[in-house]
Amino acid sequence: MNSLPRIPGWEKRTALSRKLQELSLTKKLFLIYSVFALYFLFYHEAHLPLLWMIGLALIGYLVSGILFWAIVFAFRKLETKIVLPAIFAEVGIERPTIKLVPWAEASFFAFSILACLLTGFFENRSGILFFLVYAVGVLSTRFIENKTYYKIGLLGMVVLAAGLVSFKSLQKAEIFVAYSMFKPDFEQKDLSRWNYNEENRTLHNEDLKLSILLPDEFYFHNPQNLNLEDKTGIGQIAGIISSSDSDPNRYPVIRIFFIPFRFDDESELLSQFKKFLDLQLQRGDIQELNELEREIFEDRFFGTFWTFYDVLRPRYAKTGMFFLAKHKQPYSLVFIIDESLIKGRRHEESVEKILTSVKIEE
């Protein structure tokens, strides 16, 4: 044992060990949390280039770290000491010397509810039901004055809320990164000037000289109303056609992308689309990606499609891109299609109707 101090770096390691032992329980917990959090974040973002991976991991760690210490601060404010008159002790009357702080209790519930609302946890009825049942259980322990279980229940609720906020912030950052990676390098133009004729259900964009017929129960989503995730693709988004007036991603969905110059063939566009699919695959949004043969539709749409399992909307589906050729306008249009996988059909009937109706003025 006497020879151990002779090992290079032994004294530094011993000093570090002593410093760690001197840390408070809260700081030790944060240190352990940091190790696991950073490992998970780096692993989760490993599909991105190194600089993006480090940046996103640090953003996620920063947000979760701030929330960790905010919870610690709030938890310490949950109770306060009561100074009892000396006469109580003299006559042998016992009273609690610590009481809960109402504003601190209310802040725990307010933060948890707000976090669930902002992160979309309440968009699902099961999320609302879970929170209500859990909150009722926590309040029950409050009314029966079981302070230990009440504090544990409050802590569990706020930890859930903090986890949702951390995940949502990381998700938003990932969306921004994906958009930045595929953002067009050309100067974008205003493609939001669409006219809709309700009588014959025809969309028309004068800037693109483009008209499209919408089948019944299909809706158009103007690019000015889309978020960054919906705008990510090949080129500049010109609009989305989907089967929902509120959700631009409900199947079947056709995303229209504009590129201000012509392509002789679709090979370069296809290469970009493959990178886009690889990013979704590595993020875990889709699984079991299988490429199909090159496809031609009506001798003017050229492209390639894939089958896959949609993790976000659990189902087997089909995705791909069609490049619109054989027109005289000085730009290119790409139609990215997501639809349900139907046995015996290449595409859903509504998708074929929309593609057939596409017209460009010469």
**In the chain, what's the furthest Cα-to-Cα distance?**
101
Spatial separation of the C-alpha atoms in residues 268 and 274, rounded to whole Å:
10
Residue ranges in the chain modelled with pLDDT below 50: 1, 4, 10, 88
Backbone angle region of 9, left / alpha / beta, with phi > 0 → left and psi within -120 to 50 → alpha:
left
Question: CA torsion sign, 348 to 353 to 356 to 360?
Answer: negative
Give pLDDT, residue 240. Answer: 93
Give pLDDT, residue 23. Answer: 64
Give pLDDT, residue 82. Answer: 60
The one-letter code for the residue type at 236 is Q
Give pLDDT, residue 4. Answer: 47
204, with CB counted inside 10 A (0-12, 13-18, 19+), is: middle
pLDDT in tens, 118-137: 888 888 888 889 999 989 99
Give pLDDT, residue 6. Answer: 52
